[in-house]
Structure 1
Amino acid sequence: MSEESASRTGDDGTGESGAVCDGAGESGAACDGGPEVRRLADWDADTLLDLRRQYGSPSYVLDLDRVRENYRRLAAAFPDAAVHYAAKANALGDVFEALDDEGAGVECASAGEVVRALDAGVPSDRVHYTAVNPPAVDLDTVVELWTDGVAADLTVTVGAEDTVARLATRGYDGRLCVRVNPGVGAGHHEKVQTGANAKFGVPRDRALDVAETATQAGMDVVGVHAHAGSGIHDADDLDAHREMVARVGDVAREFDAAHDLEFVDVGGGLGVPYREADAPLDLDAVADATRDALGDVDAQLVVEPGRYLVADAGVLLTDVNTVKETPDTTVLGVDAGMTTLARPAIYGSYHPIRNVTAGGDGRGEVRATVTGPICESSDVFAEDRPLAEPVRGDVLAIGNAGAYGYEMASNYNTRPRPATAVLEDGSASLARRRETLSDITTLEL
C-alpha cells in the first residue's frame, strides 16, 4: 500500500504524516485522493496506544487528513457536481471546517446541524436544510437565522406540502428544494432504505403541485432532491441508485417548463467496505451510472456523501477490563458499549476489531466475543471474532467508526459519552472532551 498523508510512522505499512506520495496506491487512486480504502490494519499501533494514553478510554479518533483525501477522490469522480457533506454522519466542527476548506457544502438533517455548520464558518449558500417532518422549534430556528441574515442564502428542502405551509406561516420566502419520493430504495439495512418509504419526500406525481404552492407563497424553487438510502455498495444497490436517479431526472425535466432549477440533488448513501475482504466502492462506476441515469438536465448535479468521507477516517479505542473463558468462547469485556457505538446493536453491523496492544509480540489467537458494560444482550460488538490473545488492560481499536459513531452515542445507564481526538498535519489534539457525570445531571432541577 502507498503511503497515506493521514498515517503515522510505524511497522505496519503506513508512512509519516505529510509524506510525499511517489505514485498511485494499491487501488490506483491518485495521491491527492489517497488509497480508495483505509483498513484498520493500516493504522499505526504505537500512535493509537499513545492517543489512548493521552485521552483515555473509550475515545474516538478522527483523522482529518483522511477526510480530506476522501473528499478529493470523490470530487474528482464527480468533477461537475457540487458535493454537500451529509452532516448526520459526523457533525464535529473540525469536520465541517476541513471540508469547508475543500469547498464542500453541508446537508443538514436538523436545525442543530445548520447552526453547527454555520458556526464552523460554512457559507449559508452552501448549506441545505433537509426538513423531514420538522419539529416547530427546528423551523423556528432556521427561519430566524434566515430572517436575521445569518443564513440568508441557505436552501430548505421540503418533503411535504405541510412543510411549505408551515414555512409560509413563519414568513419564509427564500430558496426551496422539493424532495421527491422516487419509489425505490437501497442501502445496507432496511432501516436506512429511505427511497421507497412514504415518510420521505413528496410522491412524484405531486411534486410539481407542491412546487407551485411554494411559488405562490413567494418562495424561490431552485432544486429537486431524492435519496435512495444509506450504505449503497453492491451491484443491486447500484441498480436501485441508478433507477432512483433516472426517476428524479424525469421529475427535473417536468420542472423545467415552470421553474428555473439550479440543481438536481441525488442524495448520498455511498457505502464503504466494513469487512476486511470487501472491495472498495467502485466510485467511478457510481459516478458514470449517476450521470447516465440522470440524463439531459439543465441544472447542476449535487451529491451528498456522508459515511464515505468520514467512516474509514475514524477508530474507537477501548480498554479490555474483563477476560472470561466460557465453554463456547472467550468473552472480552470492554469499557465501550452500545452507548458508545450503537451500530452493531441497532443494525447488526460489522466493524473490524484489532488488539493494538498485542501487535508483534507473538501472542496466539483466540475466538472472542467482544462485549460492553451495558446490561443488554444486544451490547455486543463482535461474536466469535479472531483476535490476538487478550489480557486485561489491552487496548482494542474498532475500525470504520468515523461515521455514525459519536453521533448516535447516548447516556443510557447514565454513562458519559467519550472524548474525541483529531489528527491533522502530523499532530493530535482534543476536539471534544469526555463527558462527566455532572454534565449529565446538571440538567436536572
Structure 2
Amino acid sequence: MADFEVSLAQEPDAASLIAAHPNLRMDPVDGLCLEGVPLAVIAKDLGTPCWVYGAGTIRTRLAALRDAFDQAGLGATHIHYAVKANDHLAVLTVMAEAGVGADVVSAGELQRALKAGIPPSAIVFSGVGKSAADLRLAVAEGIAQINVESVEELAMLSAISATAGRTIDVTLRVNPDVDAATHAKITTGKADNKFGIAWTEAAAAYGFAGSLPGLHPVGLATHIGSQILSAAPFRAAYARIAELVRDLRAAGHTVTRVDCGGGIGIPYEGEQPAPLAEIAQALAETLGGLDLDLMVEPGRWLVGPAGVLLSAVVLVKQTAERRFVVLDAAMNDLVRPAMYDAWHGILPVAADRMAAPATPADIVGPVCESGDTFAKDRVIAALEADAVVAILDAGAYGAVMSSTYNARPLATVALVDGSQWDVIRPRQEMSDLWSREIVPARFGTR
C-alpha cells in the first residue's frame, strides 16, 4: 500500500506550545496553569516527579470527537476508550461517567474497567495473545465482544465458551495490509505485523467461526496503528473492510458490526492536528451506508494532551561541547523518548522564565543510561537548580509504561477537575520497592 505523508512544522517555541494547548495558560503571577490550576502549587505540595491529568480536558476532547461523528451522520457510533493509553481508575471513572465503553487487552485492564464502573456490555477485548485465563474471564463476565486475531484463538475460545455453556459475540480482527506511515514499533495493520487475520483469509475464518459452538460471529474489527495524523490510511483500511463486509454478506454470512479501532494521533512536535472531520467522513463514506453498528477505540487522542509530567532541575552541567539540564524525572517515568525517539514539548513552569534567553540544551534524566534523554539540542530558557518544568502531552503511554528501574519509586499522580485537584496515586514509598520480595532464610545463615 502507499505511504501517507504528514508534514512537520518547525520545532515549536514556548509560546507556540502554549497556544496549541487550550488547557494550558501562562499566568504572569501563578505561572503555567493546567485548566486554571497553577502547576507550581501542585509541584510544591507533592514534590517531583509528578504526573498531573486534567479531567476537563478529557471531557472536552470527548465532546469534540462525538461532535465530529455527529457532523458526519455517525452519531450512533460507539466509543470504547483504549485502556492501555492510561489505565488509572480515576481516568476510567471519568470515561464511565461520560458513557464511554472500554477496549481492553488484558485481564487486568478488564478488571480495572469493571472496577471503574464500565459495564461488561460496554467492554471489548482485543489483543493478539489472549490466554485461556483471559478468555475465561471475558466469557464469565459476559462482555460485549471479543476481537479474535487468529483461527487458533477461535478454536480456543470456542472450547472455553462451550464448556461454560455460553455463547459470546466475536468479531474477526482483520489485517488490511495498510501502511499507516507511523513509527515502526506502533504500526499494526501491515501484512508483516503480528496482529489480525490476513484480509485474504478472513472470509474462510469467518465461516470457520460460524461452525464452532459457543461463538456468535457478528462482524469485523481492524486497527492499523497508533499516532496517525492523516485521514488517508483510515480511508484505505475502511474501504478494504467494507469490501469484505459485502463479500461476506454475498456468501450468506450475517455481518452487523464493525470495530474500526483507534490510532488517531496528536501533534507533539508542531505537526498539524489529526483532521477529525476528515477521518469521520472517511468512515461515513466507506462503512456508513452498510447498516452496521460502528465502534471506535480512541486512546491517545483522548488523554495524551490531558497530562503533563512535572519535573525539577537537579543541576545544569556545562561541558566544552554541550549544556545538560539534568531533571529528577527519568526514562523510568516517561520512556517514550528513549523507546520511540519521541518528541515532547517542555515548558518552564515559572512565568519569569518565559522571557529568559533561550539557548540549546540537552534535557536529560539521572538514570544510568545514555538513552535517558528527553530532548537533544532543545532551545529552552535558561534554567537553574530546583526550577520546575512541565513535559507536555504525557497523559498517554506515560505513567502506564513507567517502571522502578534504578530502584526509583513510581511518581505521584494528581487529577485536576475544575478549580480543584486531588492526589489519585501517592508517591511509592522506597520500602514498597522490596516489600514483596523474599530472601530465602538459609541465606541469613551464611
Which range, TM-score by smaller chain? 0.7 to 0.9
1:162 aligns with 2:152: yes
- Could you give the per-residue CA deviations for residues 278-311 of structure 1, whole angstroms, max 9, x where no partner exists? 2222211111122223363221221111111011
- 1:358, 1:388 within 8 Å by CA — same for their partners in 2? no
- 1:214, 1:221 within 8 Å by CA — same for their partners in 2? yes
The 2-side partners of 1:268 and 1:202 are apart by 17
SS in 2 for 1:401: coil
Q: Which of 428, 438, 445 does residue 435 from structure 1 map onto?
A: 428
The residue that corresponds to 2:217 in the other structure is 221
Q: CA deviation at 1:45?
A: 9.2
User: Which has the higher mean CA deviation after the structures are superposed, 239-248 or 341-350?
Assistant: 239-248
Q: Which of 422, 425, 435 does residue 415 from structure 2 map onto?
A: 422
The 1-side partners of 2:84 and 2:21 are apart by 26
The residue that corresponds to 2:240 in the other structure is 247
Q: CA deviation at 1:417?
A: 1.3
- 2:25, 2:33 within 8 Å by CA — same for their partners in 1? no
The residue that corresponds to 1:61 in the other structure is 52
- Could you give the per-residue CA deviations for residues 55-78 of structure 1, whole angstroms, max 9, x where no partner exists? 221111000110010011001111
1:135 aligns with 2:131: yes
The residue that corresponds to 2:9 in the other structure is none
Q: Relative to structure 1, is the Cα distance of residues 361 and 246 closer, same or farther in structure 2, using a 3 angstrom cutoff?
A: closer
The 2-side partners of 1:2 and 1:240 are apart by 28
The residue that corresponds to 1:230 in the other structure is 226
Q: How does 1:1-400 map to 2 (within 5 A)?
A: 10-11=27-28, 43=34, 47-79=38-70, 80=74, 81-143=77-139, 146=140, 151-171=141-161, 173-196=167-190, 197-216=192-211, 217-234=213-230, 238-257=231-250, 258-275=252-269, 277-294=270-287, 296-357=289-350, 359=352, 362-400=355-393
- 2:354, 2:381 within 8 Å by CA — same for their partners in 1? no
Q: CA deviation at 1:442?
A: 2.0
Q: Relative to structure 1, is the Cα distance of residues 5 and 331 closer, same or farther in structure 2, using a 3 angstrom cutoff?
A: closer
- 2:229, 2:265 within 8 Å by CA — same for their partners in 1? yes
- 1:358, 1:389 within 8 Å by CA — same for their partners in 2? no
Letter in 1 for 2:120: S
User: Which has the higher mean CA deviation after the structures are superposed, 210-219 or 65-74?
Assistant: 210-219
The 1-side partners of 2:228 and 2:295 are apart by 17
The 1-side partners of 2:242 and 2:377 are apart by 46
SS in 2 for 1:178: strand
The 1-side partners of 2:427 and 2:210 are apart by 47
Letter in 2 for 1:89: A
- 1:161, 1:210 within 8 Å by CA — same for their partners in 2? yes
- 1:10, 1:44 within 8 Å by CA — same for their partners in 2? no
- 2:23, 2:35 within 8 Å by CA — same for their partners in 1? no
The 1-side partners of 2:276 and 2:30 are apart by 24
User: Which has the higher mean CA deviation after the structures are superposed, 151-160 or 291-300?
Assistant: 291-300
**Residue segments in structure 2 that go unaligned for 5+ positions in a row:** 1-17, 439-446
- 2:159, 2:214 within 8 Å by CA — same for their partners in 1? no
- 2:359, 2:381 within 8 Å by CA — same for their partners in 1? yes
Letter in 1 for 2:359: V
- 2:346, 2:390 within 8 Å by CA — same for their partners in 1? yes
The 1-side partners of 2:354 and 2:338 are apart by 32
The 2-side partners of 1:230 and 1:179 are apart by 16
**Residue segments in structure 1 that go unaligned for 5+ positions in a row:** 15-40
Q: CA deviation at 1:213?
A: 2.6
Q: Relative to structure 1, is the Cα distance of residues 11 and 386 closer, same or farther in structure 2, using a 3 angstrom cutoff?
A: same
Higher relative contact order (CA 8 A, sep 6+): 2
SS in 2 for 1:131: coil
Q: CA deviation at 1:373?
A: 1.2
- 2:53, 2:306 within 8 Å by CA — same for their partners in 1? yes
SS in 2 for 1:205: coil
- 1:222, 1:259 within 8 Å by CA — same for their partners in 2? no
The 1-side partners of 2:300 and 2:390 are apart by 19
Q: Relative to structure 1, is the Cα distance of residues 176 and 89 closer, same or farther in structure 2, using a 3 angstrom cutoff?
A: same
Q: Percent identity?
A: 34
- Aligned residue pairs: how many? 409
SS in 2 for 1:170: helix
